[in-house]
Structure 1
Amino acid sequence: MADIRPYRASDRDDIYEICLKTGRSGQDATGWLDDDDLLPDIYALPYVDLAPETAFVVDVDGRARGYILGVADTAAFVERLRSDWLPGFLEKYPPNDADTPTARFARDASRPERMLIPELTEFPAHLHIDLLPELQGQGFGRGLVRTLLSSLRERSVPGVWLEYGADNVSAGAFYRRLGFTPLASGAGTRVGLHTDAVV
């Protein structure tokens, strides 16, 4: 039986796995980059380590098989990334100018200020959501978004944004169904939703 619950520290390895298995625009990213750790070290582990209070998982028989990882205050999270996460990240992934997917991801991650979008006043929170394929299409994604929205409302956060890969057509369709709308600062794949939305 599957249910949605708050993240626990014991879920960390499962979070890593889910991020890797869905990290290539929803497909398995294992072996795609030079180091399988890179995507989880950018898009998943900093969130559960620095903001576990706004992380939720789909639990299947005691294992996390999907997640939504959010931060209530993107600007504050950027500061935490800069001070607490980035030094270790840069030691593990020294920046270089190579024109490879690995180098581009690492360079992007070394600039957490990339998340300081112009719409932060209206949408101060942001999120990442991923489900293993066997859980997709069963309503868990919608349930995770509802759960995070409720948590953000309790913190008086007015809105949340996210960005998805342009080639991830199914993700775009999912966010549109939930009521996310494109933000002016993005190229159509940066979308926002107010926390009082009915999803």
Structure 2
Amino acid sequence: MKLSTRMVVVLTSVGLLSGSFLATVGHLTKERIALNKQRETEEAIIQVVPGTVSSQKLYEERDLSVYGGKDEEGNIVGFAIQASGIGFQDKITLMLGTNTSLKKINRLAILDQKETPGLGAKIADSEFFLLYWENRDSSGTITLHKPAVSSPEELLPTEVNTITGATISSEAVLSIVNTSLEQVREIIKEGKLSSEAQDVN
């Protein structure tokens, strides 16, 4: 076999092996990312819906998913609503926990955000923002209290706190929450929550 031919064969073989290796690594990485994302979702549902030991996906569309948090007996004790919208810098994705009537917000968790560090990024901070979302009255439209207060007791039941210097990020979260609640109310009204729900955990 000529040297040039041998080099072509070797280079082709190396190229094929490299391509195969990269494809395998890419597939494994994709699976790992999917598993990590599922684990994060499960943990967020348990966090925002007290009493949850397992959950089911009841509805899904672009930028909106609804999960039922279930107790040890399999009863749905609340809804976890995953929703996304545009913040000051980029997309914000959150998980909102409510009771089954959607009239009370249990807790809020921020799953993903790229807001300004030290300002808008405080939407993911319990002390500055998330604490003020606990046990809110969501039977109507939730509003933002301005200026910021120093304790939840200073808010009306339908109010949440703003972050000083990051009003746009605060308003973005508020908009995502109010919009998603209205969407879920309409979904329930139209009977679109799946009766063949998919287990999450």
Is the TM value for this pair above 0.5?
no
TM-score by length of 2: 0.25
Structure of higher CA gyration radius:
2
TM-score by length of 1: 0.25
Which structure features the higher share of strand residues? 2
Larger relative contact order (Cα-Cα within 8 Å, sequence gap ≥ 6): 1
